[in-house]
Chains A and B, each alone.
Chain A
């Protein structure tokens, strides 16, 4: 097991390096400079500005400079928000996105797994079809339709919950964004859990458990639940990535000042260091989270734990 863990961790490092290189190249491949949108400057000022931001250096040198800064935790200055560094801006925006993301995942897992297990146990009955139908709808209706609908129904018409972030300082303002973000994940996890549980329940070892006279509850609790949930564990990696993406929409609709919103604005502002910083940050996050999920999966599978 230890070997497995070490090797996985070691293999994540070159992946991270590759990620940084690719992101850097892609950002720099975009045409147009970061200052193009602003007033046209006299050539000398333009040159000074470029020199101050090291934009006149060759690409490899810029890259080397970037990486050395990276290792120190410095992601460079923001072009648009001149008084702030990228790290500062990310640091201010990220915690909110993190809260949103974690809450959504927690809700998605709790609801999705329960619904999936229930549907699997009541296979082909009305409850199953209902749950499956709702799950199917959940993945077929985009977040940017659901979110505004929620606002319309719950905030404007019923006035139960606040419509936007800044309008309310209480915890209730989390409710709509979290649910909107969680919905597609709930749908996906429900489907995944159901399929996995159905497959586990038709496995040979569950048949043995039935031959042993175990009650359905015992079978699910002791024999089927853990194997059935393993695919859900390995789905967590891609799920997190999906939540991060969906967060962009939710943040914009509800006006949450999170990282997703920051990114879109920075792209529109051509604030390339900020863009690069957010991309690298997210990528690193995803690599680390995927690694954690992999290790978790390896731990749960007895074949890797005790070869």
Chain B
């Protein structure tokens, strides 16, 4: 008998014409790890909530959920509570929201332990601390006394796992547990889950949109699409021989660093953007209870961009890439340094720049719907820059421009009558790109422009940008945390860590032989959609320090190759074998 057996599960809501989940069959054996994948809206979270009995009262649930032979569907809450946490537990996506901000971590743990009478009052603190240590939280005592907002993202997720495992359940349902985390932290948490599984034999239902994560962490997988089961089977089988077209599409869009990227256009030698020693310090206004603090967010960054080139900028949270983007574009003024466009210096603030300069340097944001004015129709949104920069145009001509901009972005011009909230994520991002490109800028900066999009949609947007680049010789600065994307589209790659550049190299060179230990760690940590892949050794420890800036090289506390000099001296960015790298030991290390 399977541990979990779901038969014909259907979840529907009165307000929606199509069910969220339709006639789904799913089973998990004891100790097994099943990956449940699908794009957003495919019904994976609804399935998990249905299994746990956590759906909203307005949901209608049909079908059977059997846990170890017991029918869970339709049970009264009191009875269901005896299963929850004790036999099956759940970990949610966003630990910031999923943990009670008003209770200390220790209190939340105690509550679960006492409620299920795992231990009595005298022993509860000890058991809680033990659990915190089990999930590898440093300084368990301190975390016990802390509130969720005092912990970093990775630590919060570990705390959530500790909470879920408190009563030693047999099945753990993890809904996108690492999506909100940095790549290196994600690697740590996934490894933790592997260890815990090995130690306790717990079964895992891992829900994610990321095929790469599933490839490396599960034995079997189940693909959902629009509420229905699309395909299922052992990992290797599905990856090697997908049967459905859609599965093939998803696999093709998934991350693999070893795929050779398509041939890129040659880059001209003309420098179109020159960034010269830009730094941004974040001054916190002395508001109420904080002193005025000045933290270096971006320190002394310089690079150049040629016409027709795509530069990928990668880094994790705290590396300053978004602040850098905003400084380049003039939304915030850099504290030192400047930017030159085609040789001419640009004013620090966008309001001070000439219209001609503004139109040549544009930005696309991460959240497509948020970057479009909710009260304006698509047509007006795209017409606005045209009206501003070419006021002489008559109405007809302007409308023609808008229509052609929409078509170039792969959208039907009839969409110009819609409002942003009526568009899908992919459509909204196309509108945003279309707005950015309607004035035919020389440089387009994309700040995590595809991070919020599903795999297949993401692919389409990247293709769109590539086409535009081919057509007009547009230069792209592509900022992202996703190394696979960078591998596909960039000519050169720039890696940032805690505000500074640690490596800048050609695409091929960086991926074949990284020169900086952090780059190596990033490459190791990125999950890849290749079940055959031999996983590298342990991912790096720790997270980016938010408190004090380490002395000397900012990466040294986490670096496997650090020596005394690294603690004392800040490494300068210098050329080693045609690659710019900021590491004292660049020449001697072989990080292949």
Touch test A–B (CB under 8 Å): yes
Interface set of A (CB-CB < 8 Å, partner B): 1, 3-4, 7-8, 203-205, 207-216, 218, 222-223, 226-227, 301-304, 306-307
Which B residue's beta carbon lies closest to that of A11?
B288
B112 on the A face (CB < 8 A): yes
B561 on the A face (CB < 8 A): no
CA distance A223 to B150 in the complex (A): 19
Quick check: B101 and A213 within 8 Å, CB to CB?
Answer: no
B147 on the A face (CB < 8 A): yes
Quick check: A4 and B84 within 8 Å, CB to CB?
Answer: no
Quick check: A304 and B94 within 8 Å, CB to CB?
Answer: no
Write the nearest CB–CB distance from B366 to chain A, whole angstroms. Answer: 22
Given contacts A204-B98, A213-B83, A215-B78, 6 further A-B contacts (CB under 8 A): A4-B288, A4-B289, A208-B160, A213-B81, A213-B84, A307-B290
A-B contact pairs, 10 of them (CB 8 A): A204-B97, A208-B98, A211-B84, A212-B112, A213-B115, A218-B111, A223-B111, A227-B102, A302-B102, A303-B101
Write the nearest CB–CB distance from B418 to chain A, whole angstroms. Answer: 30
Of all A-B residue pairs in the complex, the 4 with the closest CB atoms, nearest first, are A213-B84, A204-B97, A4-B289, A3-B289
Chain A residues lying within 8 Å of B78, measured Cβ to Cβ, are: 215
B349 on the A face (CB < 8 A): no
Quick check: B115 and A218 within 8 Å, CB to CB?
Answer: yes
Which listed residue (A3, A7, A214) contacts B112, Cβ 8 A?
A: A214
**B:93-117 near A, CB below 8 Å:** 94, 97-103, 107, 111-112, 115-116
Chain A residues lying within 8 Å of B52, measured Cβ to Cβ, are: 211
Contact residue range for chain B?
A: 35 or more
Quick check: A213 and B86 within 8 Å, CB to CB?
Answer: yes
A-contact bits for B146-171, CB 8 A (1 contact / 0 none): 11011000000000100110010000
Quick check: A7 and B288 within 8 Å, CB to CB?
Answer: yes
Chain B residues lying within 8 Å of A222, measured Cβ to Cβ, are: 103, 107, 111
Query: Given contacts A218-B111, A218-B115, A302-B147, are A210 and B289 in contact (CB under 8 A)?
Result: no
Which listed residue (A211, A218, A227, A304) contacts B90, Cβ 8 A?
A: A211
Quick check: B86 and A205 within 8 Å, CB to CB?
Answer: no
Which A residue's beta carbon lies closest to that of B99?
A205
CA distance A239 to B8 in the complex (A): 53
Which B residue's beta carbon lies closest to that of A205?
B100
Chain A residues lying within 8 Å of B288, measured Cβ to Cβ, are: 3-4, 7-8
Quick check: B289 and A307 within 8 Å, CB to CB?
Answer: yes
**B:67-94 near A, CB below 8 Å:** 77-78, 80-86, 89-90, 92, 94
Quick check: A303 and B149 within 8 Å, CB to CB?
Answer: yes
Quick check: B92 and A208 within 8 Å, CB to CB?
Answer: yes
Chain A residues lying within 8 Å of B100, measured Cβ to Cβ, are: 205, 208-209, 223, 227
Which A residue's beta carbon lies closest to that of B109?
A212
Interface set of B (CB-CB < 8 Å, partner A): 52, 54, 77-78, 80-86, 89-90, 92, 94, 97-103, 107, 111-112, 115-116, 146-147, 149-150, 160, 163-164, 167, 288-290
Query: Given contacts A204-B97, A215-B78, are A210 and B54 in contact (CB under 8 A)?
Result: yes
Per DSSP, chain A at the interface is helix
Which B residue's beta carbon lies closest to that of A225?
B102
Quick check: A211 and B147 within 8 Å, CB to CB?
Answer: no
CA distance A134 to B574 in the complex (A): 75
Query: Given contacts A204-B97, A307-B289, are A211 and B81 in contact (CB under 8 A)?
Result: no
Chain A residues lying within 8 Å of B107, measured Cβ to Cβ, are: 222
CA distance A227 to B103 in the complex (A): 10
CA distance A207 to B90 in the complex (A): 10
Interface centre among B85, B102, B163, B290 (most CB of A within 10 A): B102
Which listed residue (A207, A213, A302) contacts B116, Cβ 8 A?
A: A213
Write the nearest CB–CB distance from B153 to chain A, whole angstroms. Answer: 15
Interface centre among B85, B89, B94, B100 (most CB of A within 10 A): B100
CA distance A128 to B380 in the complex (A): 46
CA distance A227 to B101 in the complex (A): 9
Write the nearest CB–CB distance from A113 to chain B, whole angstroms. Answer: 17
Query: Given contacts A214-B81, A214-B111, A302-B147, are A223 and B98 in contact (CB under 8 A)?
Result: no
CA distance A1 to B290 in the complex (A): 10
Quick check: B98 and A302 within 8 Å, CB to CB?
Answer: no
CA distance A226 to B89 in the complex (A): 25
Write the nearest CB–CB distance from A227 to chain B, whole angstroms. Answer: 5
CA distance A211 to B107 in the complex (A): 16
Chain A residues lying within 8 Å of B149, measured Cβ to Cβ, are: 302-303
Query: Given contacts A213-B116, A218-B115, are A207 and B84 in contact (CB under 8 A)?
Result: no
Write the nearest CB–CB distance from B108 to chain A, whole angstroms. Answer: 8
Write the nearest CB–CB distance from B4 to chain A, whole angstroms. Answer: 15
Which A residue's beta carbon lies closest to that of B147?
A302
CA distance A11 to B222 in the complex (A): 59
CA distance A227 to B98 in the complex (A): 14
Chain B residues lying within 8 Å of A227, measured Cβ to Cβ, are: 100-102
